[in-house]
Amino acid sequence: MKTKPFILIALILSIALPISCKSTDQSDSNKKLLFTKKTGMVLYECKGAYAGKTVEIYYHIPSGDIKSMPVQIIMHGKNRNGDKYRDDWKELANQYKFIVLAPQFSQEEFPEDAYQQGNVVYNSGAFVSPDAMIYPIISEVFHYFLDHSTSQATKFNIYGHSAGSQFVHRYLLFNKTPEVNKAVAANAGWYTFPNSNIAYPYGIGNSETIIGVDVNGYYAKNLIVLLGTADTERTSSMRQTKKADAQGINRFERGNNFFDYSQADAARRGTPFRWQKAYVPGVGHSDSKMAPEAARILYGK
């Protein structure tokens, strides 16, 4: 039987022409790019347990190839000033060539028990499920940035100062954080000690058995506790309760005691301890003065 001419032509073309596939650049060109300016803000609408709430993402992108730049998430203090924290890190980002994302959690939608303390427990004191805590929002923000930029990052670093430091160390404790490379908790006012004999928020209570908190995994994370040696004033913004004062009389003491307890607890458990402790000599409770040392630790040689 003779092959029809149009079938023969089709067979030749199918062999001669390469199969088309979508390149990364083509995929990027189809994205709705929102993170395009050097410095700006993008409004993010939360999902899951916090659907209906919004987070402002203040960002700064240095000149250069966005695709290959590290991503640095910055957590603000109690004044809810993500724009200031972004600005504190802009020149550092330009120097070391990393992208700054500073999500701002409003006081109205995320009060202290939600932001600093993560909505970890109900009013009754019972632990909520991990996906109902505030912490998954960080991964959401990261992926929202990836979906609306040309970045090809797979991990990020995270830093928090003061109330943001409270957020960071509890975020690492109550969340698996596989996308976190390094974390810096600077000058927290008070801490959640990984001590099952102390109820949350000063300890972890029975969270290991109730919701599967992994303290051994917590100690294996790359956390730097960064302390200003002059952060010794008992200011009105620092929590001054009997349970908080049991951690130390000022932020510098509390940070040292938190690190030392955790290091000793890891030894008792016989589990690896990857944390580091670092000091910024002569610096008090100031993000703008702590940031340069944090950036050097994270990105310097």
Query: Which residues are 238's β-sheet partners?
Result: none
* In contact, 229 and 281? CB cutoff 8 Å: yes
Q: Mean pLDDT, to the nearest integer, of 177-206?
A: 98
Confidence band of 19 (pLDDT split at 50, 70, 90): very low
Calpha distance 288→101 (Å, rounded): 16
pLDDT over 50 at 17, yes or no: no
pLDDT over 80 at 116, yes or no: yes
Q: Mean pLDDT, to the nearest integer, of 197-210?
A: 98
pLDDT over 90 at 18, yes or no: no
pLDDT of residue 25: 43
Q: How distant, in Å, are the alpha carbons of 1, 2, 11, 19, 214 from that of 8? A: 13, 10, 5, 19, 64
Amino acid residing at 172: L
Of 253, 222, 229, 202, the residue nearest 156 (C-alpha): 222
pLDDT of residue 178: 97
pLDDT of residue 74: 98
pLDDT of residue 259: 99
Between 3-7, 183-187, 192-196, the lowest mean confidence (pLDDT) is in: 3-7
pLDDT over 90 at 8, yes or no: no
pLDDT of residue 248: 98
Q: Mean pLDDT, to the nearest integer, of 199-206?
A: 98
List domains and CATH numbers for the chain: 32-299 (3.40.50.1820)
Q: Mean pLDDT, to the nearest integer, of 275-301?
A: 97
Confidence band of 285 (pLDDT split at 50, 70, 90): very high
Calpha distance 297→237 (Å, rounded): 27
Percent of the chain with pLDDT over 90: 88
Calpha distance 72→99 (Å, rounded): 6
| Mean pLDDT of the chain, nearest integer | 92
What digits encode the pLDDT tens for the residues 32-49? 999 988 999 999 999 999
What digits encode the pLDDT tens for the residues 72-115? 999 999 999 999 999 999 999 999 999 999 999 999 999 999 99
pTM of the model: 0.90
Confidence band of 24 (pLDDT split at 50, 70, 90): very low
Q: Mean pLDDT, to the nearest integer, of 135-146?
A: 98
What digits encode the pLDDT tens for the residues 153-170? 999 999 999 999 999 999
pLDDT of residue 3: 47
pLDDT over 80 at 214, yes or no: yes
Of 31, 82, 77, the residue nearest 59 (C-alpha): 82
